[in-house]
Chains A and B, each alone.
Chain A
């Protein structure tokens, strides 16, 4: 799998509610080889503070040959990225990590919460290319946060059900409240979002339904060198796995849930 370390030009910057920003970059080389669930390490600015790149999963592959990143401003690094102007360059390293696995025969469902939804759009694009139209369940704080994903997913032909914490759109409550209504034909669930949400999805799937989750951690390198992104392995105390190399996508059964 080729990897690139290059500067890419920002083609488009879209601002959404709740400090959500979508950047479109002319990274056609990354787009050509990336798999859904893989991530890129993004330099925030060109100085030494903040020092480290930030990991972002690839949000979409867009038609004229590039990738999109969807991020929420949570700190200094993301704030700097959010201020990027069209025409500026951003340094990326990637694509990195292990992406989502191939869909089974039968129905599949995507479950996302908050900004963790980001990689699910690329996943949906990839599934639709294979003739698989997933049911998508998305949770967010309020209606405005759904604006970045829901229209695009419906354009792809996916059925989308949403929840909001404040009841401003769709189900008033957690996205996981929508799980029991799933068809018994669902063979696989792909989930990405807050850990408690993914834990609930993993519990729901149990050993009946295949479940893959995409994890987020702090990383210094994204390459498997710093070993900073360690996570425990169920039933073992003598070793850890690393989100950047063994993941970020894991089988739900490979994760120690709280």
Chain B
């Protein structure tokens, strides 16, 4: 078959279950607030989707400070899942998100399977919520989900409960702090997940040698930023070969080149996380860069290059 080069703008759209995104670039949960925080610095309507800060049933205060520390080409955070809680989210944050002109994905977290189910049920009929992302992997709070993300059966139980109550496509965000991430991905796929996103942060630590104390009040925290990109890429590549559902790549993506590495490794879409902190325009720049790359190689669409990594 001859593929004719096209001068028109490449087709960037992405299909995740019943959810259609105009382009593959989303902002990662916990790095983009509830959208409004960035409205003065970039055009929110250009984003593929906004994934909001993880929401729990009740508000959470989060961890005591210090909560963040910079590391080589990255940062550690131990925010502790601070969030406004479901009710305030619906009343205070959703009206703004609804009129942003982009897709809104709500990241949810709970202490029990029942809490995840309740969150999914409450969000099922909410206008403007286009998908759920289930956080089974946040490493920061003792009961914050690490058990769900580390044990295939527990992760599957959460996903089944969420799927049973959800009215929207369900993305499951995987933890890298496991022995076999592909095994986890298959477990949540079998439980009905519509897509997986990975990686969440890698658990790390930093020490003040003069005080002889951990630099974070929580002692350990999640590592993110360019430092984690090679690990994330390897995991996305492994998972893309292990599952049939769409894979969303996350981990140190700061440029279009970074995003394209994930796409070639098998990611249908990507999330920009820590880069939002130091370059609030990163997501927009990445969308433009992906378009330019597809044009350069005369590819008609993003979908045409997903997982086209050569092994010869």
A74 in the interface (beta carbon within 8 A): no
Complex: A43 Cα to B278 Cα, angstroms = 8
Interface residues on chain B, size class:
35 or more
Among candidates B70, B75, B280, residue contacting A93 with C-beta atoms closer than 8 Å: B280
Contact residues of B between 268 and 301, Cβ < 8 Å to A = 274, 276-281
Among candidates A1, A49, A219, A228, residue contacting B79 with C-beta atoms closer than 8 Å: A228
Contact residues of A between 112 and 129, Cβ < 8 Å to B = none
Known contacts A53-B278, A93-B280, A217-B65, A224 near B73 by CB under 8 Å: no
Chain A residues in 8 Å Cβ range of B79? 226-228, 230
A218 adjacent to B69 (CB under 8 Å): yes
Known contacts A5-B281, A51-B74, A51-B75, A223 near B37 by CB under 8 Å: yes
Majority-rule SS of A interface residues: loop
B209 in the interface (beta carbon within 8 A): no
A225 adjacent to B277 (CB under 8 Å): yes
Contact residues of B between 17 and 55, Cβ < 8 Å to A = 30-33, 37-38, 40-41, 53
Q: How many contacts A-B (CB < 8 Å)?
A: 105
Known contacts A230-B82, A240-B62, A51 near B67 by CB under 8 Å: no
B37 adjacent to A48 (CB under 8 Å): no
- Shortest distance from the beta carbon of B61 to any chain A beta carbon, whole Å: 5
Chain A residues in 8 Å Cβ range of B68? 218-220, 226, 228
B67 adjacent to A230 (CB under 8 Å): yes
Residues of B within 8 A of A (CB): 30-33, 37-38, 40-41, 53, 59, 61-70, 72-75, 77, 79, 82, 225-226, 254, 274, 276-281
Known contacts A220-B277, A237-B61, A51 near B82 by CB under 8 Å: no
Known contacts A50-B70, A220-B75, A227 near B62 by CB under 8 Å: yes
Complex: A106 Cα to B20 Cα, angstroms = 61
B61 adjacent to A5 (CB under 8 Å): no
B41 adjacent to A93 (CB under 8 Å): yes
A52 adjacent to B33 (CB under 8 Å): no
Complex: A227 Cα to B34 Cα, angstroms = 12
A221 adjacent to B40 (CB under 8 Å): no
- Shortest distance from the beta carbon of A52 to any chain B beta carbon, whole Å: 5
- Shortest distance from the beta carbon of A195 to any chain B beta carbon, whole Å: 13
Among candidates A3, A48, A219, A239, residue contacting B73 with C-beta atoms closer than 8 Å: A48
Contact residues of A between 28 and 60, Cβ < 8 Å to B = 41, 43, 48-53
Complex: A53 Cα to B276 Cα, angstroms = 11
Report, nearest first, the 9 A-B pairs whose CB atoms are least far apart. A228-B68, A3-B40, A221-B277, A225-B33, A220-B277, A224-B37, A48-B73, A223-B37, A48-B226
A184 in the interface (beta carbon within 8 A): no
Residues of A within 8 A of B (CB): 1-3, 5, 41, 43, 48-53, 93, 217-221, 223-232, 237-240
Most interface-central of B37, B66, B79 (chain A CB within 10 A) = B37
Chain A residues in 8 Å Cβ range of B61? 237-240
Extra pairs beyond A225-B276, A228-B68 (5, CB < 8 Å):
A48-B73, A220-B277, A221-B37, A230-B65, A230-B67
Chain B residues in 8 Å Cβ range of A3? 40-41
Complex: A219 Cα to B254 Cα, angstroms = 19
Among candidates A217, A221, A227, residue contacting B82 with C-beta atoms closer than 8 Å: A227
- Shortest distance from the beta carbon of B138 to any chain A beta carbon, whole Å: 13
- Shortest distance from the beta carbon of B232 to any chain A beta carbon, whole Å: 15
7 A-B residue pairs with CB within 8 Å = A48-B225, A52-B75, A223-B280, A225-B38, A226-B31, A239-B61, A240-B62
Complex: A28 Cα to B31 Cα, angstroms = 29
B254 adjacent to A48 (CB under 8 Å): yes
Q: Which residue of A lies closest to B83 (CB)?
A: A227
- Shortest distance from the beta carbon of A160 to any chain B beta carbon, whole Å: 34
Q: Which residue of A lies closest to B252 (CB)?
A: A48
Most interface-central of B40, B68, B274, B279 (chain A CB within 10 A) = B68
- Shortest distance from the beta carbon of B64 to any chain A beta carbon, whole Å: 8
Q: Which residue of B lies closest to A96 (CB)?
A: B40
Most interface-central of B38, B226, B280 (chain A CB within 10 A) = B280
Chain B residues in 8 Å Cβ range of A49? 72-73
Chain B residues in 8 Å Cβ range of A217? 65
